[in-house]
Amino acid sequence: TAVVRPVALNDQSTALAGELFFNAAHKPVFNEIRGSFGILRVELLPLITQSIPSVMEMKSFLQLSFPELSAELSDADSIEDIMNVVVKNCRVNDISVIKTIVKRFKITEAKPLISEYEEEVKTVCDSLKDFLGQNQPEHFLICETIHFTLGWEPEEHSLDDIRNLLEEAFKELNKRIIVQSIHRGNSIIIFCYGPHHLLAALLLEAQDNLNILMKEFSLIRLTIGHYTVYDKRIRYKVMNNECLAEEIKLADGEEQELRTLLDYKEGSIFEQDKQLNIIKERKEYIERTLQTPGIVLT
């Protein structure tokens, strides 16, 4: 699969600073850590419920410590409701609000669970360090920009569709493509990077697979580096010009046929006139002969 950044569709025209790029092969790793986060939440809930009998006490503490949560906490009527708000505002690598609750209410049994989870997150982060180091922005100075414009409805497509697009466009070379950003407007615009030394190969692959990209992915425009591989608007213009040229060619042919037919008819008329003149001359000769005495026609 291609190298992609898990980014949501947005209306910004430029990519955000500090973007990180992850290989799609890391997706299972991210899913696992998200699963571990869910397990941590399930395991902590009964411990917190047993240790904090007062819903109001917990709610008041959190509203005081984290006022940005006040609006969401106002409708929470149980410890579970409160934890749903807390978990929603945590991240897999930031469970500081949960740790604050455990610390404030001295929930000793929760500490080893949190430590185990944080150790797992640290291991994952360490495993990604080298990969991220190789994909900093300066890495793309030796890359070519790839720009897709697709006639997609944003709500109907996902990152998996973009991976499929890259696989169909570049086949085996798709593993060397990095998605930088995805933007939404009247169409979906995808900016990617590809190694500069593969420019020729990428161009050839894209050209070979144009029909699939047009039919299955609603391709509107594709540029690689400074080369426009396909532009629907230009293609229509070229096709229209070709049609007009063909019509002119047909018209020229029909004109020539008409001229040939006219020449033939003019030739036939000339021959008929010639025959009529001969008959007329013959008739006049006969009439003159008849008027001359002693002449016998033969």
Return d(Cα 157, Cα 216) in angstroms, integer: 13
Model confidence band, residue 70 (pLDDT cutoffs 50, 70, 90): very high
* Tokens 């509107």 -> residue: 220
pTM of this structure: 0.44
Q: Do 100 and 64 touch, CB atoms closer than 8 A? A: no
Specify the pLDDT at position 4.
Answer: 41
Q: Do 46 and 40 touch, CB atoms closer than 8 A? A: no
Reply yes or no on whether the pLDDT at 18 is more than 50: no
Q: In this structure, what token pair is assigned to residue 38?
A: 């869910």
Return d(Cα 272, Cα 258) in angstroms, integer: 21
Q: In sequence order, which residues have a C-beta less than 8 Å from that of residue 23 and are 6 or more positions away?
A: 3, 131
Reply yes or no on whether the pLDDT at 6 is more than 60: no
The per-residue pLDDT for range 138-178, each reduced to its tens digit, is 454 577 888 888 888 766 677 778 888 888 888 888 888 88
Selection from 9, 22, 57 nearest residue 188 by Cα = 9
Count Cβ atoms below 10 Å from residue 231 Cβ, excluding itself.
16
Return d(Cα 280, Cα 222) in angstroms, integer: 78
Q: Do 99 and 114 touch, CB atoms closer than 8 A? A: yes
**Residue 107 to residues 78, 84, 97, 204: CA-CA distances in angstroms?**
18, 18, 14, 62
Reply yes or no on whether the pLDDT at 52 is more than 50: yes
The highest-confidence range among 8-12, 199-203, 257-261, by mean pLDDT, is 199-203
Which value, to the nearest 10 degrees, does the dihedral of the CA atoms of residues 66, 68, 72, 74 take? 70
Return d(Cα 97, Cα 87) in angstroms, integer: 8
Model confidence band, residue 80 (pLDDT cutoffs 50, 70, 90): very high
